[in-house]
Amino acid sequence: MGTRVENRRCAYCNGKGVTEEGELVRTRGTCPVCEGIGIVSVPVNWRKCPMCGGSGRKGIGEHFSQLERCQKCQGMGWVEPPPLKYV
């Protein structure tokens, strides 16, 4: 079976297609993750990024930064699941 992908709301810009501020804004606020579309294609079996909690932003809590992309998911908010061990 092939990998089915699903369109999901871009976590980094929250589906807006633009980022409000930050160093990642290079081209007039266009979101660098979804390139302004507001949605990203994610394989259906991917899961929420544990590092950013699906926010696409780097860091949680005291070191939370709204400007930087999560390095694990690159801002998408979704990551490939670990390989299953059974069978």
For residues 67 and 87, give the distance between their C-alpha atoms in angstroms, rounded to a whole number: 42
Report the helix count and the strand count for the chain, using DSSP H and E. 0, 4
Nearest approach in angstroms of CB 83 to Zn ion is: 19
Minimum distance of Zn ion from residue 79's CB (angstroms) = 7
To Zn ion, the closest distance from the beta carbon of 87 in angstroms equals: 29
Nearer to Zn ion, 12 or 62 (CB): 12
List of residues contacting Zn ion (CB under 5 A): 10, 12-13, 31, 33-34, 49, 51-52, 70, 72-73
Give the torsion sign (CA, 63, 64, 68, 73).
positive
